[in-house]
Structure 1
Amino acid sequence: MPSLLHIDASIRRTGSVTRELTDFHAAEWQRNHPGGGYAYRDLAADPVPHLTHAVREALLDPSGEHGEPPQERALNEALTAEVRGATTLVLGIPMYNYAIPSTVKAWLDRLVTPAHMVAPGAGAGLLGGKSVVVVTARGGSYAPGTPREGWDHQEPYLRAVLASIGLADDLTFVHAELTLATVVPQMAGLKPQAEKSLAAAYEALRLPAA
């Protein structure tokens, strides 16, 4: 049965571009998959704790005893089950200071395990075959020719880490850029470009009727 895992990470409860875009895509997906499974996790409202030594050792060797609290092992199992059970993932990941939120890093740290790691050219792995849509919002632009070209440490990292655990077979990035143009006076002249970028993001996330 098709199943969607919907992840949000924005610290903004209202006015979040990534939340609005992932909600739109999730609604499109559910319209096309009536009766399909759906799971939601909000990494801002319910953050995954950062790794401790004991938790990391348990992830590397889940059959051993490493002194991690029982709730940590239960959390690892729950996070793993959510990803393994999904056929599609939509991840709303804003850019904070040129990279991903630490809450997303903490979530990924629980998934990068020997059981999931895939060597280059070595097949699909346990998490292979899923469709992954990463929705980002960026206050500025990092496109070729812009002043901050090369400052994007969000998409390159996500591509690398998702590929390392087999989640890059069908990986799509959808960026809404220049989101600060509406609030930063110095960027006011970029509002038309920001609106165009947001409209393009919605169009990219629209699904044809099944």
Structure 2
Amino acid sequence: MSTVFRLDSSIRKEGSVTRAVASSLESALTAELEGATVVRREIGLTPLPSTVWAQSAFAGYVAEEQRTAEQKDAVALATTLADELVSADAYIFAVPFYNYGVSQHFKTWVDVALTDSRFAPGLVPLPGRPAYLVVARGGAYGPGTPREGWDHATDWLRRVLVDMWGLELEIIESELTLAEVTPAMEALRELAADNLRNAHSAAQEHGKHLAGRLISAI
């Protein structure tokens, strides 16, 4: 039986583009892969406490019997996060683009996971496993756009997921997601709709492909 880890970091329960596109991928996957287990980690609506990272990090410099209750709880949570990652066969990360950078909830989750010894610097804990990063941006940030170079998140996400953890990553992007609710972007609404349709289509194709890959590995 294959296990897929899915993480959602949007602060929106309804109307979230990353949740919707990730669900397209998951639905296509589970339709093809009977018996797949999806392990979910919700950090957008129920974020990790901001103090956990420091407690878990500093606990590593303290003898186990001398750790505070807060440090013990933090280490236990870090272990759980790492367990969820290492026990999965594939990954879906739904991460919105907020204020030109990575979601603070996702950053905290990464920081806490990195305090587990299996994710220590220099190790590659998830080599070659397939992963899908679903990204949504309210505007456009590609070459030639007014805010080219303002995306300070995607490269960082690649550094962690690919360079540090060793995942085989595919990125599914949707831009101009604020066009429908921003009067100044009215002229871009048709382009935004096409962009979103393409993202869902790509997600469905990736889900089918991942199902075939996991079936062949069984």
TM (normalized to structure 2)?
0.85
For residues 116-165 of structure 1, give each alpha carbon's deviation from its aligned partner in whole angstroms, at most 9, with x where no partner exists. 2464xxxx832222111110110001111111010001101101122343
Q: State yes or no: 1:97 paired with 2:95.
A: no
1:8-23 map, 5 Å? 8-23=8-23
CA distance in 2, matches of 1:52, 1:44: 17
1:14 deviates by 0.7
1:180 deviates by 0.7
| Change over 3 Å in CA distance of 1:105–1:197 after alignment to 2 | same
CA distance in 1, matches of 2:112, 2:128: 20
Residue in structure 2 matched with residue 67 of structure 1 by the alignment: 68
| Paired AA for residue 197 in structure 2 | A
For residues 11-42 of structure 1, give each alpha carbon's deviation from its aligned partner in whole angstroms, at most 9, with x where no partner exists. 11111111111111111111222112211111
CA distance in 1, matches of 2:5, 2:80: 13
Question: Which sections of structure 2, spanning at least 5 residues, go unmatched?
Answer: 213-218
CA distance in 2, matches of 1:193, 1:73: 46
Residue in structure 1 matched with residue 216 of structure 2 by the alignment: none
Q: State yes or no: 1:57 paired with 2:58.
A: yes
Question: Which sections of structure 1, spanning at least 5 residues, go unmatched?
Answer: none
Q: Secondary structure at the match of 2:38?
A: strand
CA distance in 2, matches of 1:79, 1:23: 21
CA contact (8 A) 2:55 2:74 kept: no
Residue in structure 1 matched with residue 90 of structure 2 by the alignment: 88
CA distance in 1, matches of 2:14, 2:175: 18
CA distance in 2, matches of 1:101, 1:148: 19
Residue in structure 2 matched with residue 144 of structure 1 by the alignment: 143
1:68 deviates by 5.3
Residue in structure 2 matched with residue 206 of structure 1 by the alignment: 204
CA contact (8 A) 1:118 1:164 kept: no
| Change over 3 Å in CA distance of 1:20–1:179 after alignment to 2 | same
Q: Secondary structure at the match of 2:119?
A: coil
| Paired AA for residue 88 in structure 2 | A
CA distance in 2, matches of 1:26, 1:61: 40
CA distance in 2, matches of 1:110, 1:33: 31
Highest RCO, 1 vs 2 (Cα 8 Å, sep ≥ 6): 2
CA contact (8 A) 2:89 2:129 kept: yes
Residue in structure 2 matched with residue 153 of structure 1 by the alignment: 152
| Paired AA for residue 83 in structure 2 | A
Structure 1 vs Structure 2: percent identity of aligned residues?
Answer: 31
| Paired AA for residue 27 in structure 1 | S
RMSD: 2.1
Compare 29-38 and 43-52 and name the one that shifted more: 43-52
| Change over 3 Å in CA distance of 1:71–1:87 after alignment to 2 | same
| Paired AA for residue 146 in structure 1 | T
1:6 deviates by 1.0
Residue in structure 2 matched with residue 27 of structure 1 by the alignment: 27
CA contact (8 A) 1:43 1:104 kept: yes
Hey, which bits of structure 1, 4+ residues long, moved more than 6 A? none
Q: State yes or no: 1:48 paired with 2:51.
A: no
1:101 deviates by 1.3
Q: Secondary structure at the match of 1:110?
A: helix
| Change over 3 Å in CA distance of 1:164–1:117 after alignment to 2 | farther
Q: Number of residues paired by the alignment? A: 204
| Change over 3 Å in CA distance of 1:118–1:204 after alignment to 2 | farther
1:54 deviates by 3.0
